[in-house]
Each structure stands twice: as C-alpha cells, then as structure tokens.
Amino acid sequence: MAWQFEAVAGPYEGPIGGVVWDRARGAVLFSTIDDGRLLALDHASKTVTEMRRYTNRVNGLALGPNGEIIMKGLEAVFDVVKALITVK
C-alpha cells in the first residue's frame, strides 16, 4: 500500500512547528515559526484560522489540563512558557 498525502494548508514561508491536536476545537494547532503566527486547521472544513499573531517564533505547543494552549518560543533562554491562551 502506497502512502498518499493531500496538501490542506500552505505553503508557508519557513518551517512550521508545534503541531498538536486540540480535541475541543476539532483542529490541529501549529505555528509558522518565522511568521510568528499560531494557526488552527479545522479538521471538518479543512480551513485554516489565525488564532494569534506576534508569537515570538513559537515552536513548542502543548495543551494544559483545562484546555489552555501553552506556547514556547525558540528564542527563549530558559524553558519558559511564553504565552497562555484559555480555550473558551
């Protein structure tokens, strides 16, 4: 069986990172590192929504226990949480 891929977003300038599945939103969250944006790819509609701009080269994403999106920037010297967004 051969793998087949379908482009659903992009292309973007530079790398993307921090890919995480957000079950509450039904979306894959990811960042465009060089553009400094946090994006959500809606699974059902295959549309991309900008959730946040000026994220300081965020690459690491995680979801907190209450649905918070935790972002860590590439330029951080220490392992510091760069921003916290509460899922409404």
Categorize the per-residue pLDDT at 5 as very low, low, confident or very high, splitting at 50, 70 and 90.
confident
- Domain chopping of the chain, boundaries: 16-85
CATH T-level fold of 16-85: Thrombin, subunit H (2.40.10)
**pTM for this predicted structure:** 0.76
How far apart CA 27 and CA 57 sit, in angstroms, is 21
Cis-peptide into 65, omega within 30 deg: no
For residue range 24-67, what is the model confidence (pLDDT) as tens digits? Answer: 999 999 999 888 899 999 989 989 999 999 888 888 898 888 88
- CA 50, 64, 44, 32 dihedral sign is positive
Categorize the per-residue pLDDT at 18 as very low, low, confident or very high, splitting at 50, 70 and 90.
confident
| Cβ proximity of 46 and 8 under 8 Å | yes
The letter for the amino acid at 72 is K
Length of the chain: 88
Q: What local confidence, expressed as pLDDT, does residue 45 receive?
A: 92
